[in-house]
Amino acid sequence: MKRPTIADLAQAAGVSMSTVNRLLHGGATVRSETVEHVVETAERIGFYGLGTLRERRKPHRNLGFLMQRSHRPLYQLWAAQIVAAAARRTDTVIKANVLFEDDLAPEAVATNLLSLGKDSDAVAVITADHPLVSQVIDELRATRVPVVAYITDLSAARRGGFVGTDNWKGGRTAAWFIRQTVRERGKVFPLIGSHRYQCQNISDASFRSYMREHAPDFDVSDTLLVHEDPGKAHEVIQKLIDENPDLMGIFVNDGATSGVLGAMRELSPERQRKIRIVCRDLGPETRKGLSEGLITASICHPFDKMPQELIDVMLRLVECPDTPSIEQRLVPFEILTPESIWT
């Protein structure tokens, strides 16, 4: 028996051959009612491209993801996990468009966010909080394109949602590790990358809250700003080590872990063992630091669960673009130590 052709399917469904071709090859949008009718006809006549047509029955979504710093392995890992999570969705065909922003000036972030939103059904963004970014979020929401804050929340009243970890608990957990593992009382120095990242500010505040409550005999310094720059962090830690022989703890609450570790590796093993480092990321350098025993613990974002939750929130907002509420998904953070790290 002759296998049904595209022409046979078009005739049986009462549509043009160009419509069938668009469905098979993912061309221009075809109405959902037409897609359903063509798929049912293909099933009935035993058309060979049934699998492809069934894929076209699923909704197709363009999701945009504005990341930072293309040169940092941590952001490359996050981007790869997002693309992988999008590919695993079985209910929706997702085109994941990841854009890296190396210029972190709010003007550049706002421009790229607006550009990405023009071709997306929803957008997720990792960025510092700034009025220019909030303005673009308002503009996109007016065109029914929701924006979801990822990793660090934003103050924009019209953002669609936030997906991240509980940063208050994260900071207090970091303080708990330092309080429990430091052998001698001394000075503790928190580092922060930017005053405009909500996740870092909240973690910093809760870190201090715990130390005031449970470790009043520690000397916790003012928070040091290192701009997520490894070179700056290396310089700062070198100076702290030289000037503070009673340095006992460092909370790395930003992405400059490699610079901190570089300074630590210049110390004698005896001095290294006295200083406890707790950080909040899990890039390749952090894994190396854990394996070497230089890092006591990493309070980090789970690479597997975070992207799944993010995409789920984005798809829900696409289906309900006019919802007035802000959807918040807090994913439990992971705690890794030198004894639990997978290498």
Cα–Cα distances in Å, from 264 out to 16, 107, 189, 237, 311? 69, 36, 14, 8, 38
Instruction: For the chain, give every domain's residue range.
Output: 6-57, 60-165+303-331, 167-300
Share of residues in the chain with pLDDT > 90 (%) = 74
Q: pLDDT band for 37, please (50, 70, 90 cuts).
A: confident
For 1-10, 22-31, 38-47, 330-339, which range has the lowest pLDDT when averaged over its residues?
A: 22-31
**Res. 27: pLDDT tops 70:** no
Find the mean pLDDT for residues 315-323.
90
pLDDT tens digit sequence for 247-281: 999 999 987 899 999 999 999 999 999 999 999 98
Residue 181 CA to residue 177 CA, distance in Å, equals 6
The pLDDT assigned to 186 comes to: 96
Answer whether CATH 3.40.190.10 is correct for domain 167-300: no
Asked whether the domain spanning 167-300 has the same topology as the one spanning 6-57, the reply is no
Mean pLDDT for the chain overall: 93
pLDDT tens digit sequence for 63-121: 999 999 998 888 999 999 999 999 999 888 899 999 999 999 999 999 999 999 999 99
**Res. 45: pLDDT tops 60:** yes
To which residue do tokens 């790290």 refer? 341
CATH of domain 6-57: 1.10.260
- Answer for the pair 250, 295: CB distance below 8 angstroms, yes or no: no
**Protein fold of 60-165+303-331:** Rossmann fold (3.40.50)
Secondary element (H or E) of residue 339: none
Would you state the torsion angle of the CA atoms of residues 57, 61, 62, 64, taken in this order, to the nearest 10 degrees? -150
The pLDDT assigned to 25 comes to: 80
- The radius of gyration of the chain from alpha carbons, rounded to an integer in Å, stands at 25
The pLDDT assigned to 31 comes to: 76
Distance of CA 37 to the CA centre of its chain: 39
Find the mean pLDDT for residues 311-320.
95
